[in-house]
Structure 1
Amino acid sequence: MKKKLLRFTLPLFLVVILCSFAWHKFYVSVTQIDYVPNKKRVEITSRIFIDDLEKALEKKFKKKLYLNSSREIENADVLIQEYIKEKIKISINKKAQNIEYLTREVEGDVLIVYSKIVISKKINTFEIFNSLLTDIYKEQQNIVHLNINSNKNSFLFTNSDTNQKIDY
């Protein structure tokens, strides 16, 4: 009798658990930051879910952007750039840096944003602020992978933890 009950309830329990994961959306972005000394720059690649970014941009700018569609508004790149510059800030050797937006591309439901920082000096300290999408989702997590001076680090930024500093 117990085996029959277990055969019935265990699969049912697993289905309920798996369905709850399918209904819960994860809020995450991933940013890769690489120092390329021979090019004298820091390269930044951010991967952000398009629907989440659209929601944040609509809240900030009070207009629908319709990213990656035939209805996309004309100045979408400018608005994306402004939002990202507000939400990702980098200081190198205790000096705030200008992050230069390069371009973007789409991979499935993810927007990939490419940026760079021109830097000719050796990096001794690296500070990063990342609050992407935390204005929209309290559960937002932003993963940042760093490769600077051949040292690799990864950090998790959340709504309450938006800053990291690394000394080299």
Structure 2
Amino acid sequence: MKKYLLQIALPFLLILLLSSFAVHKFYVSVTQIDYVANKKRIEITHRIFIDDLEKALESKYNKKVYLTSSKELPEAETLIKNYLKENIKISINKKPQNIEFLAREVEGDVLIFYTKIAISKKINTFEIFNSILTDIYKEQQNIVHTNINGYKKSILLTNTELQEKIDY
């Protein structure tokens, strides 16, 4: 009888165990930062999963925002801008910078945000703080790719490491 139960229960448990791994989600955002000298600006592109950003906005502002749907709140863009402003901070040459929001677009299940920083001086130090979604997911990873002064660097920011400084 035990052997019979084991033959039935074991495959059931195995399927249950494997399916729990399949549902686990990878929490990541990607930011690309490029210094465009001839335009005297830094161009920034953020890629964030729509459902993750919705959860963060709903948690922070206590509102269902329904991003990219016909039910999207009229104030959703303002909430997004405020969220980005609070969670992404950049200093250049030890001075905090104003990040200007340009546009957003949808690519599959990802929202892409375009922002820029006007900069006319040579960049000697660049510091980024990125806490996007770290208040919602402790496993959140924010990958930042920089291309400044012809020097490329990739940075991994997490819940415990929210900022990085680069000297040029």
Q: TM-score, normalised by structure 2?
A: 0.88
- For 2:36 and 2:20, how far apart are their aligned partners in 1? 43
SS of the aligned residue for 1:128 comes to strand
Aligned to 2:134: 134
- For 2:81 and 2:71, how far apart are their aligned partners in 1? 19
- For 1:90 and 1:39, how far apart are their aligned partners in 2? 19
Q: Which amino acid aligns with 2:115?
A: S
Aligned to 1:50: 50
Alignment partner of 1:103 is 2:103:
yes
- For 1:18 and 1:162, how far apart are their aligned partners in 2? 33
Aligned to 2:86: 86
CA offsets 1:5-59 (integer angstroms, 9 cap, x no match): xxxxxxxxx9888645421100000000000000100000000000000000011
- Structure 2 portions without partners, runs of 5+: 1-13
Identity of aligned residues (%): 74
Alignment partner of 1:71 is 2:71:
yes
Q: TM-score, normalised by structure 1?
A: 0.88
Aligned to 2:5: none
Aligned to 2:28: 28
- For 1:32 and 1:137, how far apart are their aligned partners in 2? 21
Alignment partner of 1:156 is 2:165:
no
Q: RMSD value over aligned CA atoms?
A: 1.7
Provide closer, same or farther for how the CA distance between residues 122 and 15 of structure 1 changes in structure 2, counting only shifts above 3 A: farther
SS of the aligned residue for 2:82 comes to helix
Alignment partner of 1:39 is 2:45:
no
Aligned to 2:115: 115
- For 1:101 and 1:131, how far apart are their aligned partners in 2? 17
- For 2:80 and 2:37, how far apart are their aligned partners in 1? 27
- Structure 1 portions without partners, runs of 5+: 1-13
SS of the aligned residue for 1:157 comes to strand
